[in-house]
């Protein structure tokens, strides 16, 4: 199976990959952010470990319409969704091993208990996320 990180300038490719994967792993970043630029290679490489998942690099300024409901304050901000459910949304240290371990943990929890039993982690207390918000749904209709 071919794997590829989909940049936000290729929304059609992201949409197509989402038709074959229940997973969306996104790095919400900004082109001017040096930390994001340094993190990009590791994030790009992480997708080879998880070829069944859709990885997307979303520039929050180029595609502000995708994340209007979010208040991104720090980078890198990682979003992990399974189907239309946000499992994780928050800033992480720029270490792809943390994202890898988080993905593995979610996979195991879903296999054992189902996705409904996972406690969602959203690190955005000053600007609550609408309960029905889904980047996946936005991308599927873009």
DSSP per-residue letters across the chain: ----EEETT-HHHHHHHHTT-SEEEEEEE-TT-HHHHHHHHHHHHHTTT-TTSEEEEEETTTTGGGSTT----SSSEEEEEETTEEEEEEE--S-HHHHHHHHHHHHHHHHHH-GGGSPPEE--TTSPPPTT--HHHHHHH-
Over residues 37-57, the pLDDT tens digits come to 999 999 989 988 999 999 999
As its CATH architecture, domain 5-141 has 3-Layer(aba) Sandwich (3.40)
Mean pLDDT over residues 97-119, rounded? Answer: 91
pLDDT band of residue 110 (cuts 50, 70, 90) is: very high
Over residues 11-28, the pLDDT tens digits come to 888 888 899 999 999 999
Q: Domain residue spans in the chain?
A: 5-141
């Amino acid at each position: 199976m071919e794997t590829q990180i989909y940049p936000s300038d290729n929304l059609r490719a992201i949409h197509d990959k989402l038709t074959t994967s229940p997973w969306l792993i996104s790095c919400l970043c900004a082109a001017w952010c040096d930390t994001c630029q340094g993190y990009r290679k590791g994030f790009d490489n992480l997708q080879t470990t998880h070829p069944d998942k859709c990885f997307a690099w979303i520039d929050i300024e180029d595609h502000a319409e995708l994340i209007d409901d979010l208040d991104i304050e720090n980078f890198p901000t990682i979003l992990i969704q399974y189907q239309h459910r946000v499992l994780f949304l928050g800033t992480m240290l720029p270490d792809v091993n943390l994202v890898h371990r988080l993905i593995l943990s979610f996979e195991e929890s879903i296999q054992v208990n189902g996705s409904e039993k996972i406690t969602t982690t959203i690190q955005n207390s000053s600007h609550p996320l609408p309960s029905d918000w889904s980047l996946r749904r936005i991308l599927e209709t873009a």
